[in-house]
A and B are shown apart, each in its own frame.
Chain A
Amino acid sequence: MNRSPPNANGVSRRGFFQLSIGWLAASFAAAATAVATVRFLVPNVVFEPDQRFKAGAPDDYPDGSVTFLEDERVFVVRRGNSFRCVSAVCTHLGCTVNRAGQGYHCPCHGSAFSEEGRVESGPAPRPLAWFLVTLSKDNRLLVDKGQIVGADKYLVL
C-alpha cells in the first residue's frame, strides 16, 4: 500500500483523482443530456410550404395595380412593364399589413410603410421585404420568398 498521505485539507492523491473523475463524468453526463434534449426539440425537417411560388401571368395584373395574394401574404406591384413583389408580413411582430392609401399599414401595432416599403411611423424596425421576381419558362411570374432584394429591383418585361 503506497497510498499517499492526505494533504492539509484531508484529501489524498487517490481521493483527489476519484473526486475529479466522478465530477467530470457527472458534468459530462449532465451536459450531454442537456445538449441532446435541446437538439431533440429543434426539428430537422419542417413541414412548411415551398418558399417559391408562381404568381400567374404578368397580364393578370393591370398596369398601376397593387394586388394582394392572400395565400402567400405578398403584394404584387405593377408599374408599366415592371413587376415587383413586396412582403405583407410586418417586420415588427409578423401581422399581415393592409394596403392603405399609397402605402401599407399594420393593424396590430400601427406601423405605417411607404409605397416603397420604408417605415414611415410606428414600431417596425425594418422596411418590408421585397422578393426576387423572375419569369418562369411558361411565362408566369415566379416569386422566391427566400431571396430578399432591394425595392429598386424590378422584373422588366
Chain B
Amino acid sequence: MSAPLPRRIWSWFAQTRVGRSVFRVGPPQSNLERSQAMVSSFLLHVQPAKVSRHALRASYSLGLGLISLYLFFILIVTGVLLMFYYVPSTLQAYDRMKDLQFVISAGLVVRNMHRWAAHLMVLFVMMHLCRVFYTGAYKQPREFNWVLGVGLFLMTLGLSFTGYLLPWDQLAFWAITVGTNIAGYAPVIGPKLKFLLLGGNEVGQEALTRFYALHVIVLPALAGLMVAVHLWRVRKDGGLSRPDLPEDSVQSLPLSQLPTNKSYGLMELARGTTPQVGRDPDDEIFSWPHLIFRELLLFMLVVAVVLFLAIFWNAPLEELANTVHPPNPAKAPWYFLGLQELVSYSAFWGGVVVPALLVTALVLLPYIDRKRQGVGRWFARERAVANTIFSVCLVTAIALTVIGTVFRGPNWSWVVPWQTPPAITEGH
C-alpha cells in the first residue's frame, strides 16, 4: 500500500453506500474523474474543471483577489464570534471590549484577528485593484466585473468604517464624528444624509445602533452577494485575463476537427470566451489538483499570517469615548488619512469632490479606455499613457496617506517624526 492513510480512508468511504451518496466521486484516478470531482461538488463547481496555465501563474495575479476573499472569510467567522459577546450600547460596548481583552478565553486573539484581517483586506483589495489596472484586465469582456470590483472596494471601506465605531473608544468616536460631518458637506442632501446616518444630530446611541446594523448584516450581506457575482463573472468572462493569442490561432475549429486526445464537456464548447476554445490541450491543466492545491495552500498561508499578527500584536483600544475632548491629533484609520489630509485643506473639495471624481473615474474607466492592446501583461508598453496617469494618482494618494500618518502631529501641524515634537499648549 503506497497511498497515504487519509487517501485510503477516503477511498474506502467513497465506495460505501453512504459515501457514494455524499461524494459521488472518490479520489480521482483518471482525467475524467478529475473533471467529475470538480463538477459534482457544490463547493468546487464554482470553478472550471480545467484552467489555463497562465491563470495559475502566481507572478501574474499575485493571488491578490483570492487573498482578499480569504480575509473576508476570516472576518465573517471572527465577526460572528465577536457578536456573541458584543452589545451595541454606549454604556456597555467599551466594557465588552475590555471583557474580550481580559476575561473571555481567546477573546483577545479573536478581536485581534478581526482587526488585522480588516486592515489587511483594505490593503489587499487596493492592491488587487492596482494589479487589475496594470495588467489591463478590466477590458472587454470584463468591464462590468471591474465595476463590481470598484463596488466591492467601496463596500470594504464601508464595512471598515462602520466597524470602527463599535468599540466606542476615543478613536472610534472621533473618527465617526469627522467622517459623518464630511457626509454633511455633500451638496443639497448633505445635512439630511448626516441626520439619517446618525439617527440624530450627534454621534450617540442611535448612531451606534445604526452602524451596528450596517456592519453586521446590511453591508456584509451586500458584499457577500457582490463577491458571489464577482467570482461568477470571472468564470463567465473566460477566466483570468490573459494576452490575446495571435489572430490565426484563435479560429475555433469545427466540431469534427477538434483534437480527439481530450474529452470535452458541454461547458467547454458553450461560449467563445471560455478558456478552452481554440487552445492547445497543453495550455490548460486540470483544476484538480493543480488549482485546488494552490488555493488550499494560499488559504493556510493567509490564516497563518493573520493568526501570527493577532498573537503578537494587539488591536488598539484607546480610552472610553469622551464626547467633548478629541484626542490631539484626532486621526482617522490609515486608509482614510490621505482623505483627511485633503480634508484639512477643504472639507468640500477634499471630502466630497475629489472622492466623488475618483470613484466616477474608476467606474467609467473600462468604458472610456477601450483599446484592446496590452491585456494580460504587467505594465504593457502599449498602455504607457493609462499606466502613467494611474501611477500619478496612486503615488499622490500614497504620499497624502504618508503625510497624514507620520508628518501630522498635534493640531494637525507639520511634524518631522524623527525630531521631538514641540510641546502642546492646550489651555482651556
Partner of B326, one of A42, A70, A71, A96: A96
Partner of B330, one of A70, A95, A105: A95
Q: In this complex, what residue of A is CB-closest to B200?
A: A46
Please tell me which stretch of A3-11, A23-31, A107-115, A149-157 contacts chain B, meaning at least 4 of its Cβ atoms lie within 8 angstroms of it: A107-115
How long is the Cα–Cα vector from A43 to B202 in the complex, in angstroms?
A: 13
Interface contact B345-A48, CB-CB below 8 Å: no
Q: A78 to chain B: closest CB distance in Å?
A: 15
Partner of B201, one of A48, A68, A105, A109: A48
Asked whether B199 is an interface residue with its Cβ less than 8 Å from the other chain, the reply is: yes
Given contacts A46-B200, A48-B202, contact A94 B344 (CB under 8 A): no
Most B CB contacts (10 A, CB to CB) among A48, A123, A125 go to A123
How long is the Cα–Cα vector from A96 to B174 in the complex, in angstroms?
A: 10
Interface contact B200-A93, CB-CB below 8 Å: no
Partner of B177, one of A48, A94, A98, A122: A94
How long is the Cα–Cα vector from A122 to B350 in the complex, in angstroms?
A: 13
Residues of B165-185 at the interface with A, using a CB-CB cut-off of 8 Å, are 174, 177-178, 181-182
- List chain B residues, Cβ under 8 A from A122: 344
Interface contact A107-B347, CB-CB below 8 Å: no
- List chain B residues, Cβ under 8 A from A93: 177-178, 181-182, 343, 347
User: When each residue 111-141 of chain A gets 1 if its CB lies under 8 Å from chain B and 0 otherwise, what string results?
Assistant: 0000000000011010000000000000000
How long is the Cα–Cα vector from A12 to B181 in the complex, in angstroms?
A: 55
Partner of B196, one of A42, A70, A71, A110: A42
Q: In this complex, what residue of B is CB-closest to A71?
A: B324
How long is the Cα–Cα vector from A95 to B204 in the complex, in angstroms?
A: 15
Partner of A96, one of B200, B325, B427: B325
How long is the Cα–Cα vector from A89 to B199 in the complex, in angstroms?
A: 19
Interface contact A125-B347, CB-CB below 8 Å: yes
Asked whether B410 is an interface residue with its Cβ less than 8 Å from the other chain, the reply is: yes
Residues of B274-320 at the interface with A, using a CB-CB cut-off of 8 Å, are none
Asked whether A36 is an interface residue with its Cβ less than 8 Å from the other chain, the reply is: no
Interface contact A123-B411, CB-CB below 8 Å: no
Asked whether B412 is an interface residue with its Cβ less than 8 Å from the other chain, the reply is: yes
- List chain B residues, Cβ under 8 A from A41: 196, 199
Partner of A95, one of B174, B182, B205, B426: B174
How long is the Cα–Cα vector from A68 to B346 in the complex, in angstroms?
A: 27
Asked whether A100 is an interface residue with its Cβ less than 8 Å from the other chain, the reply is: yes
Interface contact A98-B427, CB-CB below 8 Å: yes
Interface contact B324-A107, CB-CB below 8 Å: no
Asked whether A52 is an interface residue with its Cβ less than 8 Å from the other chain, the reply is: no
User: When each residue 10-45 of chain A gets 1 if its CB lies under 8 Å from chain B and 0 otherwise, what string results?
Assistant: 000000000000000000000000000010011100
Q: In this complex, what residue of A is CB-closest to B197?
A: A41
Q: A117 to chain B: closest CB distance in Å?
A: 16
Most B CB contacts (10 A, CB to CB) among A41, A67, A108 go to A108
Asked whether A143 is an interface residue with its Cβ less than 8 Å from the other chain, the reply is: no
Q: In this complex, what residue of B is CB-closest to A124?
A: B347
- List chain A residues, Cβ under 8 A from B181: 92-94
- List chain A residues, Cβ under 8 A from B17: none
Interface contact A68-B326, CB-CB below 8 Å: no
Asked whether A73 is an interface residue with its Cβ less than 8 Å from the other chain, the reply is: yes
Given contacts A107-B330, A108-B330, contact A46 B346 (CB under 8 A): no
- List chain A residues, Cβ under 8 A from B411: 100, 105-107, 110
How long is the Cα–Cα vector from A107 to B174 in the complex, in angstroms?
A: 11
Interface contact A98-B426, CB-CB below 8 Å: yes
- List chain B residues, Cβ under 8 A from A46: 199-201, 206
Q: In this complex, what residue of A is CB-closest to B340?
A: A109
Interface contact A43-B206, CB-CB below 8 Å: yes
Interface contact B428-A98, CB-CB below 8 Å: yes
Most B CB contacts (10 A, CB to CB) among A93, A94, A110 go to A93
Interface contact A107-B329, CB-CB below 8 Å: yes
How long is the Cα–Cα vector from A140 to B201 in the complex, in angstroms?
A: 27
Given contacts A98-B427, A107-B329, A108-B326, contact A43 B178 (CB under 8 A): no
Residues of B382-419 at the interface with A, using a CB-CB cut-off of 8 Å, are 410-413
Asked whether B13 is an interface residue with its Cβ less than 8 Å from the other chain, the reply is: no
How long is the Cα–Cα vector from A110 to B205 in the complex, in angstroms?
A: 28
- List chain A residues, Cβ under 8 A from B412: 106-110
How long is the Cα–Cα vector from A137 to B196 in the complex, in angstroms?
A: 38
Q: Write the residues of chain A forming the contact surface with B, with a CB cutoff of 8 angstroms.
A: 38, 41-43, 46-48, 67-68, 70-71, 73, 88, 92-96, 98-101, 105-110, 122-123, 125
Sorted nearest first, the 8 A-B pairs with minimum C-beta distance are A110-B412, A68-B428, A107-B328, A93-B181, A109-B344, A46-B200, A94-B181, A95-B326
| Extra A-B contacts (11), CB below 8 Å, given A73-B324, A93-B343 | A41-B199, A42-B192, A46-B200, A67-B428, A68-B428, A96-B324, A107-B326, A107-B329, A108-B329, A109-B343, A109-B347
Q: Write the residues of chain B forming the contact surface with A, with a CB cutoff of 8 angstroms.
A: 174, 177-178, 181-182, 192, 195-196, 199-202, 204-206, 324-330, 340, 343-348, 350, 410-413, 425-428
Q: Can you sample 16 A-B contacts with CB below 8 Å?
A: A43-B206, A46-B200, A47-B200, A47-B205, A48-B201, A73-B324, A93-B177, A93-B347, A94-B181, A98-B426, A100-B425, A105-B411, A107-B330, A108-B412, A110-B344, A123-B350
